[in-house]
């Protein structure tokens, strides 16, 4: 699997692709991947906020966000 990784100011022209293994082994790239994943989860949550069936998933997203915030 290959991941798109943003660089510097997150402009589309600053994206590059790398292997998942490499991105997750490099602390800076790993932090970028986690930040991107959290942005995507936030978008998912906004899109499906009205679905009560997804409340347990939203709670897990909140828990992960808090854990990542504490680690930073």
Which of the four pLDDT bands, split at 50, 70 and 90, describes residue 3?
A: confident
Which of the four pLDDT bands, split at 50, 70 and 90, describes residue 16?
A: confident
| Distances 67 to 18, 27, 43, 63 between C-alpha atoms, Å | 26, 17, 19, 6
Which of the four pLDDT bands, split at 50, 70 and 90, describes residue 64?
A: very high
Q: Give the pTM.
A: 0.73
> What tens digit of pLDDT does each residue of 29-47 get?
999 889 999 999 999 999 9
The position carrying tokens 């998942």 is 20
């Amino acid at each position: 699997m290959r991941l798109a990784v943003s660089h510097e100011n997150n402009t589309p022209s600053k994206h590059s692709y790398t292997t998942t293994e490499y991105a997750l082994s490099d602390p800076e790239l790993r932090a970028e991947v986690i930040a991107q994943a959290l942005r995507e989860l936030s978008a998912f949550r906004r899109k499906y906020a009205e679905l009560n069936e997804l409340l347990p998933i939203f709670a897990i997203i909140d828990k992960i966000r808090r854990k990542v915030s504490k680690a930073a």
